[in-house]
Structure 1
């Protein structure tokens, strides 16, 4: 027997009994990983100490936590602090949560405004364009504190191309505003609106900004765009 060709013969024989992973198998693997991820997120959600606040919606939390983990792996955020804004809710509801993922506890739960051209009581139109006066959804990394026309303010860096990556040039920042208050809601049947910034109550401004500043994750959610948000984050 000519042993010179034995290695090649052996490889060919082995390949005849071995099937490469199919596209179907890859899809099944991805689906399994997604299910495992959701299962982990459900566990974290169920153990979350709401600190006597209302719990965030699970779909919002699940999308936010999945994105947070991706951004942490990429080094785009460094803190274990996650801020959620759920724009599926009425502006009369407290729809901003700040969560300490290290201690798994809700630190703050408060009102937050959307842009004046994003909607009246409910947020339904979003934009990444300058002078649109609309909110931008998706994931952000918090930046540095500065003192602006609204006092202490926090710069934001949008992390999703086409959705919010013009946030800094649009001057979309977190700041306190008098129109974000229960008294404004009582008088107007809705919350006041910003020029696109996630504005919060004046009395909460300093407390929240000092916790979430410098590379924590801010996520602005709307159910109509949740799948698009994660897809863009993965590109």
Structure 2
């Protein structure tokens, strides 16, 4: 109990120190949208922050017997169920990942809500969501290797298989198992133009897409090392698909057809 309580207090203190700002002005909103951010996704982000800043969310989490004070993952057999509380403030930096778009689009939008500046990156989706250029299936189901839609709160950073890795807390029924599923933001060698243009050994043709994760959003290794420190402890990340946001709230699998190629 003492360890669990200490973890909760640390999470609350660190998240509450995140710089908070006021809602963006209409001019800032227009500037963000002009840089390709989907209007509906941005509206959802601002509305969610307006309605929930200062709110505490109880999270189903775990700690590990072999390193009880760490947020690093461990095998299921070594996990001890815990409950943590995280508090949402109004961060300056947020991210929207538009999974409506192909993986060959720079569909990760890093957004400064104070200035309206936007930087775009490549980002991979989960293998269970589709092994092609598009993510078409999403859920909150453990071991599905599917991406989960919804709002996430950025937590702490640990050193994982791909270097700096960002813990994320799912704040909605569509993604509230994110911690237990180890849905995190990390870098990966299979993200970037080099992979898109590399040859698939099975076909001899270029992959024409990014690689796929086990459900996590994955940036390139170089970009992850830059972006993750900016997002840790209090930023908000939205996994978005324009056709599935409401349906995804059941937590069950939801899907769409892959877009047809234009001739």
Q: TM-score range by the shorter chain?
A: 0.7 to 0.9
Per the normalisation by structure 1, the TM-score is 0.73
| 1:118-175 deviation per Cα after TM superposition (whole angstroms, max 9, x unaligned) | 01211110111111010000000000000011111000000012x1011111111000
In 2, Cα distance between equivalents of 1:154 and 1:227: 26
Which of 139, 152, 157 is residue 145 of structure 1 equivalent to? 157
Matched, 1:226 2:237: no
Q: Report the alpha carbon displacement of residue 73 of structure 1 after superposing the two structures with TM.
A: 4.5
Asked whether the equivalents of residues 163 and 187 of structure 2 are also in contact (C-alpha less than 8 Å), the reply is yes
In 2, Cα distance between equivalents of 1:159 and 1:122: 24
**2:49 matched to which residue of 1?**
68
**1:178 matched to which residue of 2?**
189
Matched, 1:195 2:214: yes
Alpha carbons of 1:229 and 1:126: their partners in 2 closer, same or farther (altered >3 Å)? Answer: closer
In 2, Cα distance between equivalents of 1:196 and 1:129: 10
**2:127 matched to which residue of 1?**
116
Matched, 1:45 2:57: no
Matched, 1:101 2:82: no
Q: Report the alpha carbon displacement of residue 69 of structure 1 after superposing the two structures with TM.
A: 2.2
Q: Report the alpha carbon displacement of residue 228 of structure 1 after superposing the two structures with TM.
A: 5.0
In 2, Cα distance between equivalents of 1:66 and 1:170: 27
After superposition, the CA RMSD in angstroms is: 2.3
Asked whether the equivalents of residues 41 and 65 of structure 1 are also in contact (C-alpha less than 8 Å), the reply is no
Number of residue pairs matched by the alignment: 188
Asked whether the equivalents of residues 172 and 249 of structure 2 are also in contact (C-alpha less than 8 Å), the reply is no
**2:145 matched to which residue of 1?**
133
| 1:32-54 deviation per Cα after TM superposition (whole angstroms, max 9, x unaligned) | xxxxxxxx88654213397xxx4
Asked whether the equivalents of residues 63 and 226 of structure 1 are also in contact (C-alpha less than 8 Å), the reply is no
Matched, 1:77 2:113: no
Per the normalisation by structure 2, the TM-score is 0.66
In 1, Cα distance between equivalents of 2:28 and 2:237: 18
Asked whether the equivalents of residues 80 and 100 of structure 1 are also in contact (C-alpha less than 8 Å), the reply is yes
In 1, Cα distance between equivalents of 2:112 and 2:41: 16
